[in-house]
Amino acid sequence: MIRLILRSGAPGFAYARSAHSFVGSAPELPAVRVRSTFLDFFREKHGHLLVPSSPVRPRGDPSLLFVNAGMNQFKPIFLGRADPRSAMASYYRVVNSQKCVRAGGKHNDLEDVGRDVYHHTFFEMLGNWSFGDYFKEEACSMAWTLLTEHYGIPADRLYVSYFAGDAESGLLADKETRDIWLDIGVSPGRLLPFGLKENFWEMGDMGPCGPCTEIHYDHVGGRDASKLVNANSPDVVEIWNLVFMQYNREVDRSLRLLPQFSVDTGLGLERLVSVLQGKRSNYDTDLFTPLLRAVHQRSKVGPYSGRTGADDHGMVDTAYRVVADHIRTLSVCIADGVYPGMSGAELVLRRILRRAVRFCVEVLKAPQGTLANLVPAVVDILGDVYPELYREADRIVDIINENEAQFLSSLQQGTRLIHRTLNKMEDKHGVFPASVAWSLHRDLGFPLDLVDLMLEEQGVHVDQQELDKLKANNQKVCSDQQRGPESLLMMDVVSLAELQRLGVPHTDDSLKYQYTLERDQYVFPAYHATVLALYDGQTLVSEVVEGQRCGVILDQTCFYHEQGGQSHDQGYFTRDGLQDVLYSVEAVVQAGGYVVHQVFVADTLKTGDQVQLCLDQVHRLSCMVKHTATHILNFALREVLGPSVQQRGSHVSADRLRFDFSIKGSLSVSQLQQVENCVNNIISFNQSVHSQELPLQTAMTIKGLRTIDEVYPDPVRVVSVGVPVSELLDNQTDRLTSVELCCGTHLLQTRFIQDLVIISERQMAKGISRIVAVTGLDATRAREVGQVLSQDVESLSARLSGPPPTSIVSAQHLAKEVGVLSDAVDTTPIPQWQRRELQSQLKTLQRSSNTSIRKLETREAAVTAQAVLEKNGRKRLLVDSVETDSLSVLMKTVNQLSSISPHSYVMLLAHHGHSGKVLCACQVPKNSPSLPASDWAVAVCHHLGGSAGGSALVARGTGSSSDITGALRWAGEFARQKIQR
């Protein structure tokens, strides 16, 4: 039987389809039409605004590595933080298709991708949103109409779940939603109640939340599948979740109704397409089949056949799925400005790329470049809805190819190293040496889980206990290096003299400056060198054996040794004739003209050996960025603050820069902003960076030269920004620019810094200030997070400026929020000028909230004191219990009683409801040596199993006892005995 859907509205809304297409016939609706039908349905039929997907890098949300849900970009609306001047503040009805990545962090599907047929690292989330507009009835009706009428999904394949309530939380069942579905026509047998876990959605520990209703689809049909709903059955799957945000989860875990109700829905495109195309696997839909065909064309294995588990011989189909999924993720992330790197989201992406490359090469037998060759297919599939893929296609290809080439080189070395080690092992199925696994991770950038996987295929496993020790030792080495060069392996004076006696020439380290800029990429050539000397920590030796740590002196090196405030280079050596053995360079120092490489020896090393030098290029380039930025910062400080500013020290590492300078006081907010603007102007002008070696005396004649109080070599290296050194030397220009004596490595153009943000500025000593700054993506993140925190402070300020809290608990919650936000502002990397402004605002808010608490406590104490007096009168010994959870209120009550009756000995006890403890406070008359308040409180609280402290006049403490009446009698008797003496 053919079910005809009459056309109405825009093209794409309706089409004819066969009901049996849901059990496996050929696809009738392309994915592009599935997506557009959804978007057009809400946009044209129901007046929703089509909002483009946000980039997969979260906008100012440090809690996320990637955008992992459709609601991420709308958090400011849900949290009430949207800038009223922004377009977002005007959103009421919205529809979109959001790019999402779930890899790393809380939602991490990376390890499951390829093993089954439905997990993805990248997916699209279709969603419609109502912000204070329509609610449950309209949302359910629209969803049902779209699924059953416009997509033509048979109603007898659908099941609906709703929130059953939760007695412990005091939440009633969502009967409203249940009745709406019944009115729509859903059969009672297909309308199923579930609890908090399945049908109550929360953003986090605090914030907007509410019940949800989910629509599930039965792939089989023709049966009652209600028992399979939410039972992890692959046959019955959730396809759409409609969340009704009507509550706010408070700090104390209570729920409060939101001022406006919202709807947040999420419908996974990949899963919907599989349903509409009659497929049990997402990878069998047209979102993936063109990719799988493209992979097959370049591979040397059979076509994709959809096998999983033990049926997937050689993991061929797993590899197909991994590559098809990962190339989508890589393309989308790179188009959005997330590049493979060494930390955070960049490190996750690097891991995804390397996983895809390995499956391509080792399992699918595809040639190098296959991964990048799949990018056009991704662009064809997704480019129309995400046009940034078209714009960035060439960049995506270049970045994937560059990273693939680097990894393949490492992969070949790593594979040889694994096989070589296995051949040396007596037990071929035993424990793999942890030192080798650690070398793969540390020196070749292998994720440890990839090492485990490669070894698992060989039937061995790593000595995990030993591996944990190596991790710990590495952390210790890193911390030792941070403490200073004295913790490193340093050559003693005797060994240095021996080198000279033997005629060992000083190290030629000019190669560290030999790099070029080609097609927007820095190129660092590979170099060979000869081992001239070895130092074992005590003396010079001619040979070191495997497992030793030693100092290696070469005839030449491209490794930068720690000097001029710049961190040493990282990397490793390989020995000629033994290319798969890595000699890790842990530190590089200079001693008496010799560059000493501190090396962990992975195999025998002798003087005279030839080695290849393998520089960690990512680390080096990061240091170059920070060092050039430091020079520009030095210049900007002088431009803004005047010529009195003098450098007093600096340190450049791969992640940030530190700069110390003379100044009378801390920089103002305005000065910090001016310095940042000056630096970023120079960056945006993309000025060339020049360097030239000159005689020291000649260099010192350059106008505007910046120097610090140290001994310079002669000749000396001069580094200038924007103006060639020769022009400065010949006074051919009056232009002021950054020009310094510097031995460090630098960029060739300033644009590679991208951005600079000062994240810290404080006085280290009188007249000396220290700036810490970040660059590039770290700077961008700092600005984004600063904007988020600024919005949080504005939101909290608006709440505190409203009606004052009516209870101490609510006032304390507000004060706690101020404290939490203050901690975030104090410790999170954000622009320092913005931190200062926010700290000032938060101090004002803290004073305001503390004043509110004090007023409420004083008011409550006055009422409590009056009640105690009415009950007891002005007795000389006044011991009683009161109702309060606040020790502060208890103290204030005691103080007010003592003020009214100054000759009374007053002690009050109270049960603390939350902790179950007993609170104790007391005050005695002045000049009362027979019973000091501290003695009284200590005795009573000790009797209660607690402790106390205070002065002779006033004291307080806590204890624990269910018999507060007995405790009062004991306290009174103790006081009487003391007073009567």
Full DSSP string of 278-302? T-SSGGGSTTTHHHHHHHHHH-SSP
- Summary count for the chain: helices (H), strands (E): 28, 36
Q: Which of 239, 378, 371, 217 is nearest to 295 (CA)?
A: 371
Q: Which of 70, 201, 197 is nearest to 127 (CA)?
A: 70
Q: Which amino acid, 742? A: C
**pLDDT number for residue 8:** 31
Q: Which of 321, 173, 143 is nearest to 239 (CA)?
A: 143
SS3 of the chain: helix, strand, coil, percent, to 5: 45, 25, 35
Tokens for 568, please give them.
């040493």
Q: What is the pLDDT of residues 59-103, one digit of tens each?
A: 777 778 899 988 888 988 888 777 766 778 889 999 999 999 998
Q: Which of 735, 742, 684, 685 is nearest to 713 (CA)?
A: 742
- Own/partner contacts of 592-595, CB < 8 Å, gap of 24 or more, are 592/491, 592/496, 592/499, 592/500, 592/506, 593/506, 593/507, 594/491, 594/496, 594/499, 594/504, 594/506, 594/507, 594/533, 594/553, 595/507, 595/509, 595/553, 595/554, 595/557, 595/559, 595/561
Q: Which of 266, 274, 6 is nearest to 143 (CA)?
A: 266
Tokens for 543, please give them.
């040979």
If one compares 94 and 562, the residue with the highest pLDDT of the two is: 94
Name residues whose C-beta falls within 8 Å of residue 927's C-beta, 6 or more positions apart in sequence. Answer: none
Q: What are phi and psi of 893, to 5 degrees?
A: -65, -45
**pLDDT number for residue 19:** 37
Q: What is the pLDDT of residues 340-370, one digit of tens each?
A: 877 788 888 988 998 899 899 989 999 999 9
Q: Which domains does the chain have, with CATH numbers?
A: 31-286 (3.30.930.10), 287-424 (no CATH), 427-478 (no CATH), 493-614 (2.40.30.130), 621-767 (3.30.980.10), 779-854 (no CATH), 873-980 (3.10.310.40)
Alpha carbons 133 and 156: distance in angstroms, whole number: 31
Q: What is the pLDDT of residues 385-439, one digit of tens each?
A: 999 999 889 989 988 998 898 888 887 888 888 888 888 776 666 788 888 888 8
Q: How confident is the model at residue 658 (pLDDT cuts 50, 70, 90)?
A: very high
Q: Which amino acid, 918? A: V
Alpha carbons 740 and 706: distance in angstroms, whole number: 5
Q: How confident is the model at residue 4 (pLDDT cuts 50, 70, 90)?
A: very low
**pLDDT number for residue 477:** 58
Tokens for 650, please give them.
């600096």
Q: Which helix (H) or strand (E) holds 550?
A: strand 549-554
**pLDDT number for residue 975:** 92
- H helix runs in 59-127, sequence order: 75-78
Q: Give yes or no for a contact between 716 and 707, defined as CB atoms under 8 angstroms apart.
A: no
Tokens for 23, please give them.
């059990």
Alpha carbons 890 and 875: distance in angstroms, whole number: 19
**pLDDT number for residue 475:** 63
Q: What is the mean pLDDT of residues 557-576?
A: 91
Q: Which of 190, 147, 181 is nearest to 41 (CA)?
A: 147
Q: What are phi and psi of 880, to 5 degrees?
A: -155, 170
Q: How confident is the model at residue 25 (pLDDT cuts 50, 70, 90)?
A: very low
Q: Give yes or no for a contact between 327 and 378, defined as CB atoms under 8 angstroms apart.
A: yes
Q: Give yes or no for a contact between 319 and 360, defined as CB atoms under 8 angstroms apart.
A: yes
Q: What is the largest CA-CA distance in the chain?
A: 105
**pLDDT number for residue 22:** 54
Q: Give yes or no for a contact between 381 and 290, defined as CB atoms under 8 angstroms apart.
A: yes
Tokens for 438, please give them.
């650690």
Alpha carbons 908 and 937: distance in angstroms, whole number: 10
Q: How confident is the model at residue 7 (pLDDT cuts 50, 70, 90)?
A: very low
Alpha carbons 520 and 813: distance in angstroms, whole number: 53
Q: What are phi and psi of 825, to 5 degrees?
A: -65, -40
**pLDDT number for residue 804:** 85
Q: Give yes or no for a contact between 511 and 612, defined as CB atoms under 8 angstroms apart.
A: no
Alpha carbons 658 and 774: distance in angstroms, whole number: 9
Determine whether 623 is exposed, middle or buried from the number of CB atoms within 10 Å of its CB (0-12, 13-18, 19+).
buried
Q: What is the pLDDT of residues 211-266, one digit of tens each?
A: 999 999 999 999 999 999 999 888 999 999 999 999 888 777 888 888 889 999 99
Q: What is the mean pLDDT of residues 570-590?
A: 89
Q: How confident is the model at residue 107 (pLDDT cuts 50, 70, 90)?
A: low
Whether 190 has a pLDDT exceeding 50, the answer reads yes
Tokens for 532, please give them.
């001239």
Q: What is the mean pLDDT of residues 713-742?
A: 86
Alpha carbons 936 and 613: distance in angstroms, whole number: 75
Could you give the percent of the chain with pLDDT greater than 90? 58
Alpha carbon 749 to chain centroid, angstroms: 29
Q: Give yes or no for a contact between 776 and 754, defined as CB atoms under 8 angstroms apart.
A: yes
Q: What is the mean pLDDT of residues 625-651?
A: 91
Q: Which helix (H) or strand (E) holds 589?
A: strand 578-591
If one compares 252 and 315, the residue with the highest pLDDT of the two is: 315
Lowest mean pLDDT among 125-129, 663-667, 907-911: 663-667
Q: Give yes or no for a contact between 195 and 185, defined as CB atoms under 8 angstroms apart.
A: no
Could you list the residues known to form a binding site, using ranges.
627, 631, 742, 746
**pLDDT number for residue 813:** 87
If one compares 690 and 591, the residue with the highest pLDDT of the two is: 690
Whether 17 has a pLDDT exceeding 70, the answer reads no
**pLDDT number for residue 434:** 86
What one-character DSSP code corresponds to residue 832?
Answer: H
Alpha carbons 9 and 753: distance in angstroms, whole number: 51
Q: Give yes or no for a contact between 276 and 287, defined as CB atoms under 8 angstroms apart.
A: no
Alpha carbon 883 to chain centroid, angstroms: 45
Q: What is the pLDDT of residues 462-510, one digit of tens each?
A: 888 888 888 777 666 555 544 444 445 777 767 887 888 899 999 999 9
> Peptide bond before 715: cis, by omega within 30 degrees of 0?
yes
Sheet holding 716-721, edge to edge: 689-694, 716-721, 739-741
Alpha carbons 562 and 544: distance in angstroms, whole number: 24
Whether 685 has a pLDDT exceeding 90, the answer reads yes
**pLDDT number for residue 463:** 84
**pLDDT number for residue 118:** 83
Could you list the residues known to form a binding site for Zn(2+), using ranges.
627, 631, 742, 746
What one-character DSSP code corresponds to residue 511?
Answer: G
Q: What is the mean pLDDT of residues 740-769?
A: 89
Report the alpha-carbon angle 936-940-945, nearest 5. 145
Tokens for 833, please give them.
């000028």
Q: Which of 717, 733, 716, 706 is nearest to 631 (CA)?
A: 706
905-911 and 877-881 strand pairing: parallel
Could you give the percent of the chain with pLDDT greater than 70? 93
Q: What is the mean pLDDT of residues 105-133?
A: 85
